[in-house]
Amino acid sequence: MRTERTVKRRDVLRWAGPATAALAVTPAILALPGQQGGNESPTLEPGPPEHVGMSSERLEDVFARIARRVEDGLYPGATALIARHGVIVGHRAFGHKVHGQTNEPVTLDTMFDVLSMTKVVATAIAALVLVDEGEMALHEPASTWLPEMAVNGKGDITIHDMLRYASGLPVDNQLLDEPDRAAVWQHMAETSLAYPPGTQILYSDLAYRLLGRVIEAAAGMPLDAFVRMMVWGPLGMSSTMFKPAPALQHRIAATGPTDRRSYMVRGEVQDDQDFALGGVVGCDGVFSTARDMAVFCQMLLNRGRYGNTRILSRPLARAMVRNQTPEVDEAQAKLSPLNDLLVGPKGYGWEIWSPRFSTGGMRLSPKSYGKVGGAGTFMWVDPSRDLIGVLLTNHGLPFPFDGRNWNLLLDAVGCTEFYDGVIAAVEHP
């Protein structure tokens, strides 16, 4: 009897060579059994708002409000992109890349430090691709791949619970004064539990840092190489990367300085712990453009596919953006914007919309999902309206990162005003 070998997409990309994997991979390269067929899924192309039931006049009002905030000095610059039914109905740039300097205007291809959006566009998607490949299982212990995590009662923490912020790990456990990176990673892996895994929700940079290490062990390569080969390259997200090369600095919006770096941070992840760990980390570190983020969102609206390129199976694409957190304490989540982030409903990496303090405003439909980056970057998807909104700014991390300063950032950037305005521009289904 003839035995047929199952060809994995990862193998094909490797055979194609690193140069091909780093760029947009052609449909022919990805034409593997069970991975595409039939009609293509929508891809993003510009078009008139009225063709997809939106008002040009109201969208101009949305953009004018961003411009006014930049002119008032609330943040140096921004890009915004709005798309519906696969049509980009607005894509604008505002302000400047560096605070106090007017000689470098933000352009549509400006790259921003998206900080915690990394959790979605790099780490969570990489984990789910590995699950799709059969290399990892959602309900297996993370310590299978990272044995040093098994101490202090953490041996049963699953990939599923790490993805949905229910791992039992605290928000963070930094070690900034230790120059030995191996010692820092060991310190983080040995962190004691803050609560029994799977019993409540708590947003955790630490969980996603360690999940990045789990992915590297399962994939057999660095996180940035894996996600570039399996996700960003096939999607044509050529402006999305960890640790941009110095030659790209002219395209990057500055955020800094930080508590540890007195200079203007530009092209370096703003989080000091992630910078100390080398800048390729599961919770932060990605730089990207509004268009690349919108392409990623469109892929998930298409349930794992973009054009004729499939990134994720339909079941896992749906699971990624579905509410995975029945344990949420709604009374606690409704207390403040910071509580909404820390203990509100989550998907795999994503925040799920809630009506009071969501960064997506008050008017998104139920089951909408989004992700915020702590330096002032936002993306939200409303599946009921087939709508994407991306707002990237270089406001910079609030310091200290507490409830008051988080509120000040959200008020300055005006994310809720942006998304409420986008929804107000929808006139027809």
Omega before residue 222 within 30° of 0, cis? no
Domain assignment present for 185: yes
Active site residues: 116
418: domain CATH number is: 3.40.710.10
Omega before residue 400 within 30° of 0, cis? yes
Q: How many residues does the chain have?
A: 429
Query: Which candidate, 168, 175, 166, 163, places its Cα nearest to that of 215?
Result: 163
Q: How far is residue 94's CA from residue 292's CA, in Å, rounded to a whole number?
A: 18
* Residue 45 bridge partners (DSSP): 87
Residue type, 243: K
For position 256, what pLDDT does the model report?
Answer: 85
Domain assignment present for 21: no
Residue type, 18: P
For position 14, what pLDDT does the model report?
Answer: 52
Domain assignment present for 264: yes
Q: How far is residue 59's CA from residue 66's CA, in Å, rounded to a whole number?
A: 11
Q: How far is residue 125's CA from residue 119's CA, in Å, rounded to a whole number?
A: 8
Domain assignment present for 22: no
H/E run at residue 390:
strand 387-393
Q: How far is residue 208's CA from residue 163's CA, in Å, rounded to a whole number?
A: 8
Q: Cβ distance 176 to 190 under 8 Å?
A: no
For position 13, what pLDDT does the model report?
Answer: 58
Q: Mean pLDDT by 10-residue block, N- to C-terminus, for the chain (429 residues)?
A: 43 49 38 45 96 98 98 98 98 97 96 98 98 97 97 96 98 96 97 97 98 98 98 98 97 94 96 97 98 98 97 98 97 96 98 95 97 98 98 96 96 98 95
The tens digit of pLDDT for each residue in 87-126 reads 999 999 999 999 999 999 999 999 999 999 999 999 999 9
The domain tally of the chain equals 1
Domain containing 77 equals 39-424
Q: SS3 string of 154-192?
A: CCCCEHHHHHCCCCCCCCCCCCCCCCCHHHHHHHHHCCC
Domain assignment present for 410: yes
Tokens of 242: 């960890």
Residue type, 142: A
Q: Where are the beta strands (DSSP E) in 38-168?
A: 45-46, 77-84, 87-95, 112-113
> To which residue do tokens 């008051």 refer?
404
Helices H / strands E in the chain, number of each: 17, 12
The tens digit of pLDDT for each residue in 56-79 reads 999 999 999 999 999 999 999 999
Query: What are the CA-CA distances from residue 23 to residues 122, 230, 246, 383, 425 (Å)?
Result: 16, 11, 19, 28, 35
Domain assignment present for 14: no
Query: Which candidate, 377, 359, 379, places its Cα nearest to that of 420?
Result: 359
Q: How far is residue 159's CA from residue 269's CA, in Å, rounded to a whole number?
A: 25
Domain assignment present for 13: no
Domain assignment present for 10: no
> To which residue do tokens 């609330």 refer?
74
